[in-house]
Every structure is written in C-alpha cells, then in structure tokens.
Structure 1
Amino acid sequence: MSPLHPQVRHLVATLATRPPAAPWEVPITAYREAGERLAALAGPPDDGCAVTDLTIPVRRGSVDARRYRPPGQTVGPAVLYLHGGGFVRGSLDSHDRLCRALCVRGGLGVVAVAYRLAPENRFPAAHDDALDALRWVSEHAGELSIDVTALAVAGDSSGGMLAAATALATRSGGPPLKAQGLVCPALDATMSSGSVDRYHAGPILTREALAWSYDQYIPDTDDRRSARASPLFEENLADAPPAIIISAQIDPVADDARRYAAALAAAGVAVDTHEYAGMPHSFVLLTGMLEDGDHALTTFATGLAELLNSG
C-alpha cells in the first residue's frame, strides 16, 4: 500500500481520538448529523460570492437548491453541483464551502442540488432529481444569469456518479453540456475496481462503508450493472462532454476514476486527470487540514472554468 501523506496521517490520528461509528451501527439521522459536523474540516467559507436558496421542481415534488454567483458577474458559465455522501447523507450545508470555492476560484455560477437521499428514496430517485434539476436550470438560465451554452455538471463521490450519469443522459434529448467535473467519483456499483480491495480499510472511506451505501441506494444487484448506476459500464462514451477528473490515490474508488478517464479518452473525449498521491477519498472536503485538498479544489475550479470558457 502506498504511504499516506503526512498531513493525512495527522488527520487520521486526530479523528481516531473520537472514531466515528460505522453507518450501520447508528440511526440514519445520527449518521447524517455526523457527516454535517465534518464540514468544519473544510476551513472557513469564502464570502466572496452572492448566495441564494432556491426550490427546484422535479418529477416527484421539489428539491432544495442553492445558487452561488461570482462578484460582479451578470451572465456567465455555470455548474450544476451534486454533493457526495454515499447517496445517504450530504446536503447543501455540508458542501457549501466547496461550492463557494468553486464559484470564487473559477468565476463560475454554481447551482447546488439537494437530491433525495436513500434509503428513503432508492435508485433511480437521485438520478432523476439530478437530471430534472439540470433541465430546470437550463430552462431558467435567463433568470439565473447563466449562459446556457456554457453549462457543466459536477459532483464528488456518489455525486460524481450522478454527474457522470447525467452527462451521459443529456446526449439523448437533455440540455447540452459543455463540460463535466468529477471528484473522487464512485462509478462502478459492482465494486469491481482493484482499488476497492487495495484500500479496503480506508481511511475516510472503507470497502464496507462503500458496500453499505450501495445497498441503501441500489439494493437490486441487476440495477448495479446498468450504465445509469455504473457509468463505467456504458459501452458508448462518444459525444460525452469533456471532463476534468480529480482523484485520490489512497481511495477504494481510485481505479474507478482511472478506468473512466481511460474509457473517455479511448472514445475521443477530452479528459484532464489529476490524481493526488497519498490523499484519501473526499480530500477536497478537508481543505482546512489538507493543503493538497485546497490545491485540488483550485485545480478543479480553474479546470472547469477553462472548459466552459473555451471557444
């Protein structure tokens, strides 16, 4: 196993003083509350953008959303952002610092979406919410001051799966996307990547926790082999939007990112990849303690901006 970065070792030692309970050992509400508390590890929020809460109608009701606007921007490129959390937890607040940084550092409008969570809402509920929200944002681009010709979808971890699946879905009648951004994406619900076993013990994400998360959202194993649930199973990636992919080396889903980047490139899709040595899953949410997390977040924001602002 490759060595952890010294800052990660310090983080792990700090967390070990109050080790979190396994998700299956506590009520789902307690697990979600514990995830919200981790937001403090992202450092102080960037106040350099305007923030407004929204409600977006979807096919089964509505979802909460949050809009971020760069200072002084009238109409510009934008990103629909889908948070991680294993489909079970995560919220607008848990990823608020990340979205603020994406907005300010990339000069991008951001619309973050709080899709429905499992196990109350199983597959394909979150997928449907993501696609419906993207369509709504595209249809209301004018009032949101968004350049509809410069729109991207992005997400981290489970949100990375939703972003990749949404980007593929838009090829057949959805809003045209200029880019997709994936951070530590979980792209194979069958967990066939070698990294799942190499880094089964984490830190941050373990094989057992990953398997539990898939059980909550996609309990039907046949569904897990569909390209919608596992974008790595998509045989035709032609015409997928250009991608920037940020990944961590010490991560059970590290090979998901590598495999998908290779598949996109083989299909002729432009892809920019950045794997951070010694970093764990979701390290971009730990920017208050990990310098590489902060660097990766800037790389992600500026990389998306370059794709969206390109001719």
Structure 2
Amino acid sequence: MTTLDPQVSKLLAALSETPPVPPWEVPIATFRSAGERLTALAGAPNTRCDMQDFGIRLPGRLLQARHYRPQGATGSLAGVVYFHGGGFVRGSLDSHDRLCRELSVRGGFAVVAVAYRLAPEHVFPHAHDDAIEAFRWVAEHADELTLERDALAVAGDSAGALLAASTAVGLRERAGGPQARAQGLLCPVLDVTLANESVARNADAPFLPRPVLEWCIEQYFPDPRDRQSAGASPSMRPSLAGAPPAVIISAEIDPVSDDARQFAARLEDAGVSSELHEFPGMPHSFFLMAGVLDHGERAILTFAEKLSALLR
C-alpha cells in the first residue's frame, strides 16, 4: 500500500485508542451510531447556508430530505440532488450535513440531500429506486423548491455515488423525463463485483478495509447474481454514451480507487466529458474529515467549483 499522508497517519494514531469494531460483530444500530460519531472530524458547519427539512412522498414510502441554499440567495438556483455514503447500511442527512452545507456555499447552488432506504432492512434495488424516483420528484417540484429545472445535477459519495451514477445513466434510458445535467462522484463505489485490482492492492486501507467493503455489499446485495447486473453497477453498463458529464474525486489509498479511474476512462471513451481528481496519500471518504485533513477541504472546494461549472 502506498504511503499515507502524514495528517492521515496522525489521525489514525489519535483514533487508535478506540479501534473500530467490525460491523458483523455488533447490532446494525450500533454500527450506524458509530458512523454518526465520526461527524466530529468534518469540522464546524458552515453557517452561511440556509437549511430546511422536508419529505419526498413516493409510492408506499416517505423519504426524508434536506434543502440547502447559500444564505441570502434569491431566485431559482441550479441544484444538486445528493445521496450520502455509508456502504448502503448507514449514513444520514446529519452525517453529511457539513459536506452539503459546504458544497452549497462554495458552489453557489442548492443541494437537496435525500435519505434513501438502508440495508439490510431494504435490499437491492430499493435504494436504486429511491434515488432515481427522488431525482424525478425534485425535478417535477423544481418550482416549489425554487430550482432551475434544466440545471439539476446528481451527486453522492461512496455507495451514494453509485446511486448517483446509476441515476444519471438510468434517466437517459427514460425518454421524455427529467435528465441530470451533470454527475458528481466522490470516492465512488462503481463495481460491486469488486473485480478491480485496487480492492486487493488497498485491502488493508483505513476507514474501508476490504472485509468491511465486502460485508456492506453483502447486506444490500444478498443475492450474488444481482451484483453481476448492469442495473447494480454503473460500470457494468454496456454503454455509457449519452451520460451527463462528470467530475470525480478519488483517494489514492482506497479499495475502490480503480473504480473511479475505470469509470472516468469509460465515459471519455463514450464521448462524455469526465474530470478525475485523485488525491495522493488519502483514504476512502477523506473529504468527510475536512476538519482535520487539508486535502479533505481542498477536495470539497474542487468538487463544488467543478460541479458548479458543469451546471452553468
């Protein structure tokens, strides 16, 4: 494994007094609570942002959502529908609140964060369905949300990035419906077969070692046959032609780093603009630790600025 950035090594040393317990050894509620406690690493929330919670009513369920706008912004704004990471099993509106605030303020756009259904209570394709239907709902209610209907992107991190990419590609297959103008992917998991070499190369990487990644995928995809389907992984699609342009942030020391490289290359091969930024010495989801990692702050700023440019 490549050398970790000194700030990451320092953080790991500080966290070593309370090493994480493998998720298969604790109740799912305990694993989720442990994830929420990591929000302290994100830094102080940006107060130059207005926020409002609301619900997205879909057939048979109500998804909780949170609407962010730069403080004082008037009129309709470009918007980003955002899906949090957490391996399909944890993560929430609160765990990604600081990130969404920063993206909104730094990018000058609105963010609609959506809390999709989690595994193991809800398995594939429930989260996929929630993502694409939530995007369509936001597009249909753009006027109520003071959003520019034709300037909507879809974004997410880790497992949420898989949902974002699946939504971006899936919308293209539904003629006549709303489309994503851009897609933003942070440390994306894009191949749930775990076939890429980085899974082995970074098997012991901090924050997402291979055993935890495998366990998370098994919770959402209990049937191995589903993991082979194009509907599960965007990278399994036979063609990415017509997908919206992408900005992708990845970490060098991450079992899914090759997912980002491969997807960016496939988009380019399909004639789709793709901009990949890989941060050296960084682990998975380092941007969620921007309060203690300088590269995390830089990644958020880069992501917000590049996504804003794609929307304009």
Q: Which TM bucket (shorter chain)?
A: over 0.9
Match of 2:228 in 1: 225
Deviates more, 1:104-113 or 1:224-233: 224-233
State the match for 1:246 in structure 2: 249
Separation of aligned partners in 2, 1:183 and 1:244: 9
Q: What is the CA-CA distance between 1:261 and the residue it aligns to?
A: 0.4
1:107-151 CA-to-partner distances (Å, cap 9, x unmatched) read 010000000000000000101111111011000000101001100
The match for 1:216 is 219
**Aligned-pair distance for 1:55?**
0.4
> Which residue is equivalent to 1:96?
97
Residue 150, structure 1, aligned to residue 151, structure 2: yes
The AA in structure 1 aligned to 2:96 is: H
Contact 1:86/1:157 (<8 A) preserved: yes
RMSD of equivalent CA atoms: 0.7
The counterpart of 2:186, out of the listed 183, 187, 202, is 183
Give runs of ≥4 in structure 1 deviating > 4 Å: none
Aligned pairs (5 A) from 1:160-175: 160-173=161-174, 174-175=177-178
- Deviation, 1:73, is 2.9
**How far does residue 202 in structure 1 lie from its aligned partner after superposition?**
1.3
Instruction: State yes or no: 1:276 paired with 2:279.
Output: yes
Deviation of 1:227 after TM superposition, in Å, equals 1.6
Deviations 1:19-58 (A, max 9, x none): 0101101100000000000011000000111100010012
Q: Secondary structure at the match of 2:144?
A: coil
Tell me, in whole angstroms, the C-alpha distance in 1 between the residues paired with 2:159 and 2:144: 29
1:273 CA displacement: 0.7
Aligned to 1:75: 76
Q: Does 1:235 align with 2:238?
A: yes
Tell whether the 8 Å contact from 1:205 to 1:281 is kept in structure 2 after alignment: yes
CA contact under 8 A between 1:284 and 1:294: conserved in structure 2? yes
Deviations 1:199-249 (A, max 9, x none): 101111010000000100011111111122111111110000000000000
AA partner of residue 23 (structure 2): P
Aligned mates of 2:218, 2:48 — CA distance in 1: 39
- The equivalent residue for 1:26 is 26
Task: Name the structure 2 match of 1:255.
Answer: 258
Which of 293, 297, 301 matches 2:304?
301
The letter of the residue matching 1:107 is G
Query: In 1, distance between residues paired with 2:230 and 2:74?
Result: 37
Q: Which amino acid aligns with 1:79?
A: V
Alignment of 1:109-148 (within 5 A): 109-148=110-149
TM-score (structure 2 length as normaliser): 0.98
The residue aligned with 1:56 is 56
Q: For the Cα contact (< 8 Å) 1:42–1:287, is it kept in 2? A: yes
Equivalent residue of 2:92, what SS? coil
Note if 1:292 corresponds to 2:302: no
Amino acid at match of 1:147: E
Question: Any conservation in 2 of the 1:5–1:277 contact (CA below 8 Å)?
Answer: yes
Q: The residue matched to 2:172 in structure 1 has which SS?
A: coil
Counterparts of 2:93 and 2:238, CA distance in 1: 33
Aligned to 2:195: 192
Name which of structure 1's ranges 132-141 and 53-62 shifts more when overlaid on structure 2.
Answer: 53-62
Q: Distance in 2 between matches of 1:40 and 1:228?
A: 35
Offset, 1:83: 0.1
Question: What is the letter of the counterpart of residue 82 of structure 1?
Answer: F
The residue type equivalent to 1:20 in the other structure is P
Instruction: Look up the equivalent residue of 1:29 and give its one-letter code.
Output: A
Shift of 1:13: 0.9
Q: AA paired with 1:2?
A: T
Write the distance in 1 (CA, Å) between the matches of 2:165 and 2:112: 17
CA displacement at 1:89 relative to structure 2: 0.2
Secondary structure in 2 matching 1:170: helix
**Residue pair 1:59, 1:132 contacting (<8 A) in 2 also:** no
Aligned-residue sequence identity (percent) comes to: 57
Partner of 2:85: 84
- Letter aligned with residue 178 of structure 1: R
Provide the aligned length of Structure 1 versus Structure 2. Answer: 309
- Residues 230-271 of structure 1, C-alpha deviations (whole Å, 9 max, x = no match): 111111100000000000000000000000000000000000
